[in-house]
Structure 1
Amino acid sequence: MQYVISERPGAVLLSLAGEIDLSNSPQARKLILAQLDSGHALAVDLSAVSYIDSSGIASLVEGYQKARSENLRFALVAVSDATMKVLQLARLDQVFPLVASMDEFNA
């Protein structure tokens, strides 16, 4: 898994790439929670994620729950087809806020 963190006005964009699985989901979890600790809205770009397993999904769920509990905006941005299939299978596409772009997130 690779990642890039970009600060935007009032929000942080965390772009994840590659595979998110049991071997690196703890790192993904720490990245997500650390960005939320800043008190800013968080957009997680999943456009370059080629594979995600249940541990990766759990990291996203935990981040979303933390954002909700702290009244912070949170969304998944430009979700890749592979990741969307997993979200749909778990019906989490009905739970997570999903946006196509940062422009949509900021609207």
Structure 2
Amino acid sequence: MNITSTLCNELAVVALEGDVDLRCSPALRKELLERTFERRDIVVDLSGVGYIDSSGIAGLVEAYQGARDNGTRFLLAAPSEPVLRVLRLARLDRVFTIVDSVEPLAAASPGEPLS
């Protein structure tokens, strides 16, 4: 899994690519929690993720809770069908705000790397 974090108009965009599983979920958790500590809205771009397991879901839930506790938004963008299926099975599609794309949120800003 590859993680790329950028800042677009004060919105932290965390783009994931590849499979999110037990092997890489600690890195995902670390990245997302670092972003929640910055107290900025976060959108996780899941368009490049073909598979996510329970450890990856747990990392997303923990980051969501951290953002909520900080009074910031935490959104998921463009989940692939397999990822959306897992979210629906866990009924997390009712918990997370899921948007079709990052672009309208980032408002076409070129962005700066965050890490």
Q: Distance in 2 between matches of 1:80 and 1:16?
A: 11
Structure 2's unaligned 5+ residue stretches are 108-115
Any gaps of 5 or more consecutive residues in structure 1? none
Code of the residue aligned with 1:5 in structure 2: it is: S
**Aligned position for 2:60:** 60
- The sequence identity of aligned pairs, in percent, is 44
Q: Deviations over 1:19-69 (max 9, x none)?
A: 111111011000101111112110000000011000000000000000001
Q: Within 5 A, what are the aligned runs for 1:1-107?
A: 1-105=1-105
- State the TM-score, normalizing by the size of structure 1: 0.94
Higher normalized strand content (fraction of residues): 1
The answer as to whether partners of 1:75 and 1:105 remain within 8 angstroms in 2 is no
Q: TM-score, normalising length from structure 2?
A: 0.88
State the Cα distance separating 1:102 from its structure 2 match: 2.4
Contact 1:43 1:76 in 2 (8 A): yes
What CA RMSD, in Å, does the superposition of the two structures yield over aligned residues?
1.3
Paired AA for residue 15 in structure 2:
S
Q: What is the rounded CA distance, in whole Å, between the counterparts of 1:86 and 1:48 in structure 2?
A: 15
Runs of 4+ in 1 over 2 A off after TM superposition: 102-107
